[in-house]
């Protein structure tokens, strides 16, 4: 996947032109190349998936936990926004999607890899997930400032682009390893996740595009570059343990060893 493919996917799913967001994204990625779009990064994922026992099943289970905690983090942001209805609606919908995704990843683990887990492990993961209920959807007295909201939306946009790329790398592996009797359900889950991730990129892109007028375009470009650099570093740090444990001295081009 590449930046141009992200923009093409948005164009196919959105009526809005998003020309200002495209300018922000292209400007940022021309200076700060997303590490997850590099071939060494893809190779590292393939290496982990094909050489580390149970790596893929553990990734699916971990995604359930990550999506569940992400849902409540988004709800916390939403609770402090009271001045921009489109942003409120998008973030709340996003939070509910993430809560649903947490459950879907547990289903995916059962359908594709149930034999790889101890008998009650996935039950424990599922029980640890906290759904979003009507009682949770309440506003806070801690108001999120507009500039902070823009920062959050840029970070969400970057994270969702990275997540969509991860799904593109891993989904074919999940599907191919699933038992034949479960492949149809696995495919439906994966396609739904892909649609949702693209939707999340789209609504954050639309909001960034709306803010990117002549007065603050340069500030948005600078902020997007800064956050892209931060997430590059965070991504590499997250991979670092796996690299040292399983990298077998490879992937120096990715990690700058």
Residues 192-214 have pLDDT tens digits of: 999 999 999 999 999 999 999 88
Closest C-alpha to 160, from 84, 83, 91, 77:
91
Q: Is residue 254 part of a domain?
A: no
Report the percentage of the chain scoring pLDDT > 90: 77
Q: Which pLDDT score is estimated for 250? A: 61
**pLDDT bucket at 236, cuts 50 / 70 / 90:** confident
Residues in the chain: 257
Which two tokens mark 193?
């996740």
What is the distance between the alpha carbons of residues 177 and 24, in angstroms, rounded to a whole number?
Answer: 39
What are the residues whose beta carbons fall under 8 Å from the beta carbon of 86, sequence distance 6 or more?
Answer: 206, 207, 210
Q: Is residue 255 part of a domain?
A: no
**pLDDT bucket at 130, cuts 50 / 70 / 90:** very high
Q: Which pLDDT score is estimated for 255? A: 55
Q: How many domains are contained in the chain? A: 1
CB 109 within 8 A of CB 58: no
- pLDDT higher than 90, residue 253: no
- pLDDT higher than 80, residue 56: yes
pLDDT tens track for 82-96: 999 999 999 999 999
Sign of CA dihedral 125, 131, 136, 140: positive
What is the distance between the alpha carbons of residues 42 and 199, in angstroms, rounded to a whole number?
Answer: 23
Q: Is residue 256 part of a domain?
A: no
What is the distance between the alpha carbons of residues 56 and 245, in angstroms, rounded to a whole number?
Answer: 16
CB 27 within 8 A of CB 221: yes
What is the distance between the alpha carbons of residues 25 and 119, in angstroms, rounded to a whole number?
Answer: 45
Q: Which pLDDT score is estimated for 257? A: 44
Is 79 or 252 the better-scoring residue by pLDDT?
79
Q: Is residue 138 part of a domain?
A: yes
Q: Is residue 102 part of a domain?
A: yes
**pLDDT bucket at 251, cuts 50 / 70 / 90:** low
Q: Is residue 253 part of a domain?
A: no
Domain that holds residue 23: 3-247
Q: Which pLDDT score is estimated for 24? A: 97
**pTM for the whole thing?**
0.93
- pLDDT higher than 90, residue 111: yes
For residue 107, what is the domain's CATH number?
Answer: 1.20.910.10
DSSP classification of residue 7: H
Report the percentage of the chain scoring pLDDT > 70: 92
């Amino acid at each position: 996947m590449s930046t141009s493919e992200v923009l093409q996917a948005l164009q196919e799913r959105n009526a809005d032109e998003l020309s200002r967001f495209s300018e922000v994204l292209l400007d940022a990625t021309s200076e700060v190349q997303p590490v997850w779009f590099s071939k060494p990064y893809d190779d590292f994922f393939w290496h982990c998936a094909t050489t580390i026992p149970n790596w893929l099943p553990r990734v699916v289970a971990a995604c359930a936990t990550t999506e569940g905690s992400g849902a409540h983090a988004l709800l916390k942001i939403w609770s402090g926004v009271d001045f921009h209805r489109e942003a409120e609606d998008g973030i709340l919908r996003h939070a509910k999607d993430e809560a649903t995704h947490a459950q879907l990843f547990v289903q995916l683990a059962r359908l594709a890899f149930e034999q790889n887990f101890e008998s009650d492990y996935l039950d424990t993961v599922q029980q640890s997930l906290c759904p979003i209920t009507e009682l949770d959807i309440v506003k806070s007295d801690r108001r999120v400032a507009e500039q902070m909201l823009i920062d959050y939306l840029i970070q969400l946009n970057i994270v969702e682009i990275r997540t969509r790329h991860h799904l593109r790398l891993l989904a074919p592996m999940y599907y191919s390893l699933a038992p034949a009797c479960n492949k149809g359900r696995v495919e439906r889950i994966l396609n739904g996740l892909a649609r949702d991730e693209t939707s999340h990129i789209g609504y954050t892109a639309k909001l960034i595009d709306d803010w990117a007028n002549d007065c603050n375009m340069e500030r948005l470009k600078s902020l997007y570059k800064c956050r892209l650099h931060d997430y590059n570093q965070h991504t590499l740090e997250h991979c670092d343990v796996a690299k040292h444990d399983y990298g077998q001295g490879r992937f120096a081009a990715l990690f700058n060893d």
